Structure 1
Amino acid sequence: MSATPDHRPEPPDASDPRAFLVVPARVWYSREVHAVARDLLGAYLTSRSPDGDVTLRITEVEAYAGADDPGSHAYRGRTSRNAVMFAEPGRLYVYRHLGLHHCLNIVTEPTGSPSAVLLRAGEIVEGVDLAWRRREAVGVVDSERQLARGPARLAVALGLDLRANGADVTESGGDIVLHRQQAVTLPTHKSGPRVGVSGSGGEGNRFPWRYWLTDERTVSAYRPAYRSPTSTDAP
Structure 2
Amino acid sequence: MSTSRKLPREFYARPVLLVARECIGKILVHRTPEGVAAGRIVEVEAYRGPLDLAAHSSRGLTKRTAVMYGPPGHAYVYLLYGISWALNLVTTADGAPHAVLIRAIEPLRGIALMARRRRKSPDSRELTNGPGKLTNALAITGADYGRDLCGGRLYLEHSELSVGRIGRSPRINVDYAGIWASKRWRFYERGNRYVSVAPRD
* The two structures share one fold, judged by TM-score above 0.5: yes
Q: Where do residues 65-214 of structure 1 align in structure 2 (5 Å cutoff)?
A: 65-136=48-119, 143-171=123-151, 174-181=152-159, 187-201=164-178, 204-205=181-182, 207-214=183-190
How many angstroms does 1:144 deviate by? Answer: 2.5
Is the Cα contact below 8 Å between 2:169 and 2:199 reproduced in 1? no
Is the Cα contact below 8 Å between 1:69 and 1:201 reproduced in 2? no
The normalised TM-score by structure 1 is: 0.78
The residue identity in structure 2 corresponding to 1:123 is: E
SS class of match (1:81): coil
How many angstroms does 1:203 deviate by? Answer: 5.3
How many angstroms does 1:98 deviate by? Answer: 1.9
Q: Structure 1, unaligned stretches of length 5 or more? A: 1-17, 225-235
Sequence identity (%) = 36
Is the Cα contact below 8 Å between 1:61 and 1:117 reproduced in 2? yes
The residue identity in structure 1 corresponding to 2:158 is: R
Higher strand share: 2
Of 13, 21, 24, which aligns to 1:38? 21
- RMSD of the alignment, in Å? 2.5
The normalised TM-score by structure 2 is: 0.91
How many angstroms does 1:221 deviate by? Answer: 1.0
Runs of 4+ in 1 over 6 A off after TM superposition: 18-21
SS class of match (2:135): helix
Equivalents in 1 of 2:180, 2:75: separation in Å? Answer: 26
Is the Cα contact below 8 Å between 1:188 and 1:213 reproduced in 2? yes
> Greater CA radius of gyration, 1 or 2?
1
Q: Structure 2, unaligned stretches of length 5 or more? A: none
Question: Deviation digits for residues 58-86 of structure 1, max 9, x if unmatched?
Answer: 00000000112010000121110111111
